[in-house]
Amino acid sequence: MKTPFHHIFDTDSVGQAINPLPLNHLLRWANLEQIEHDEQCPKTLFLGIDIQQDFMDNGALGVPGAMQDVIRLGQFIYNNIEKISSIIVSLDTHEPAQIFHPYWWVDEAGNHPAPYTVIKPQDLTDGKWRAVIDPALSKHYVRQLEKTGKQLIIWPYHCINGTTGWTLENQFSNIIHFMSVAADVPVEKICKGQNRHSEMYGIIRPEYSTHDSTNTKLLEKIAEFDKIIIAGEAKSHCVLESIKQICEYYYDKPELTRRIYVLTDCMSDIPGFEEYSQTAYKILVSKYKINLVKSTDNFL
């Protein structure tokens, strides 16, 4: 490729609010590239999970290591621009009044819970916490989570629709939009998490719903590819749940789940969930034969 990496991706600006590389300039350079895909390469999808400003190290729900993850990911995409056929990125999309934000709950004194508070069914029975919005439905939700081995975690306000924290990380945005023009690669953006009554870590379905809200259209699209490369934030939550949901849907199609390649050096855990994350990925490898790789490995 004629355009140097540093002309597209400024490593010093990852996670920062100001993007020193205007997209209009980048896309003019991209128009000059006219990169052709290697027809011998398998049809490859890059699936980027929630690579947004609020999940960078210094963001509202910062994931330590996220900015370095994005740098490695940017270099990976640049190095393999002629081998990636399509890009899908998810955007965690919220409002302040959602069941996993402090606004929704108060204690006996009327105080809202601190971020990272875990609310259990017994807490509601004991009066430790109560929902100020839809109390009956909220209690039902917390109970249903427990039945499936999950729990309600109160998160800092994050990825509020339309804010700078909600947007794609600037340099990641640069590289995928440059690629979309230079190599004629379609980029699809999917918003998730708008249901105010449920968390939605994975891109396929919410944590709980009273009706089937599985995104079968996305699942069918993913199945069209020979290789599915996945990275994003956080490794322990939204990336993990996305992979689990894809694998569980295609549980009887190991020939498909074997096509999944997870870039382990392009995602990081939320602190405190490292052991849980490590165990969960081992299970996915054993059960569904997904591939855990590094961005520098030769697997394309």
Tell me, letter by letter, the H, E, C secondary structure of 191-247.
EECCCCCCCCCCCCCCCCCCCCCCCHHHHHHHCCCCEEEEEECCHHHHHHHHHHHHH
What are the tokens at 298?
A: 């030769």
Residue 155: band (very low, low, confident or very high) from pLDDT cuts 50, 70, 90 = very high
Q: What average pLDDT does this structure show over 252-267? A: 98
11-69 tens-digit pLDDT:
999 999 999 999 999 999 999 988 888 777 899 999 999 999 999 999 999 999 999 99
What pLDDT, on a 0 to 100 scale, did the predictor assign at position 38? 73
Question: Do 168 and 55 share a structural domain?
Answer: yes
Question: Do 272 and 196 share a structural domain?
Answer: yes
Question: Do 138 and 9 share a structural domain?
Answer: no
**Domain hosting residue 113, numbered range:** 102-153
Question: Do 124 and 32 share a structural domain?
Answer: no
Q: What average pLDDT does this structure show over 173-201? A: 96
What pLDDT, on a 0 to 100 scale, did the predictor assign at position 286? 98
Residue located via tokens 């394309």 = 300
Contact in structure between 188 and 39 (CB atoms under 8 Å): no
What pLDDT, on a 0 to 100 scale, did the predictor assign at position 34? 81
What whole-number distance in Å separates Cα of residue 97 and Cα of residue 275? 31
Question: Do 39 and 185 share a structural domain?
Answer: yes
What pLDDT, on a 0 to 100 scale, did the predictor assign at position 39? 76
User: Is 228 within the bounds of a domain?
Assistant: yes
69-96 tens-digit pLDDT:
999 999 999 999 999 999 999 999 999 9
C-beta contacts of 20-23 below 8 A and 24+ residues apart = 21/171, 21/174, 23/173, 23/174, 23/177
Please name which of 143, 171, 166 lies closest in space to residue 74, comparing C-alpha atoms.
Answer: 171
Question: Do 107 and 60 share a structural domain?
Answer: no
User: Is 299 within the bounds of a domain?
Assistant: no
Residue 6: band (very low, low, confident or very high) from pLDDT cuts 50, 70, 90 = very high
> Could you tell me the CA-to-CA distances from 216 to 59, 199, 203, 204, 246 in Å, in that order?
32, 19, 11, 8, 10
Question: Do 255 and 112 share a structural domain?
Answer: no
Question: Do 262 and 127 share a structural domain?
Answer: no
Judging by DSSP bridges, how do beta strands 130-131 and 187-192 pair with one another?
unpaired
What are the tokens at 282?
A: 């081992």
User: Is 116 within the bounds of a domain?
Assistant: yes
Question: Do 270 and 133 share a structural domain?
Answer: no
What pLDDT, on a 0 to 100 scale, did the predictor assign at position 21? 92
What pLDDT, on a 0 to 100 scale, did the predictor assign at position 121? 97
Name the least confident of 21-25, 237-241, 256-260. Answer: 21-25
Q: What average pLDDT does this structure show over 93-108? A: 98
Please name which of 228, 238, 215 lies closest in space to residue 263, comparing C-alpha atoms.
Answer: 228
What pLDDT, on a 0 to 100 scale, did the predictor assign at position 267? 98
What whole-number distance in Å separates Cα of residue 228 and Cα of residue 90? 15
User: Is 283 within the bounds of a domain?
Assistant: yes
- In the chain, the number of structural domains is 2
CATH code where residue 223 lies = 3.40.50.850
Question: Do 263 and 127 share a structural domain?
Answer: no
User: Is 136 within the bounds of a domain?
Assistant: yes
C-beta contacts of 35-38 below 8 A and 24+ residues apart = 35/1, 35/81, 35/82, 35/182, 35/183, 35/184, 36/82, 36/183, 37/82, 37/83, 37/85, 37/183, 38/82, 38/83
Peptide bond before residue 231 is cis, with ω within 30 degrees of 0: no
157-186 tens-digit pLDDT:
999 999 999 999 999 999 999 999 999 999
Contact in structure between 166 and 15 (CB atoms under 8 Å): no
Q: What average pLDDT does this structure show over 278-298? A: 97
What whole-number distance in Å separates Cα of residue 137 and Cα of residue 98? 13
Question: Do 136 and 285 share a structural domain?
Answer: no
Question: Do 232 and 189 share a structural domain?
Answer: yes
What pLDDT, on a 0 to 100 scale, did the predictor assign at position 157? 98
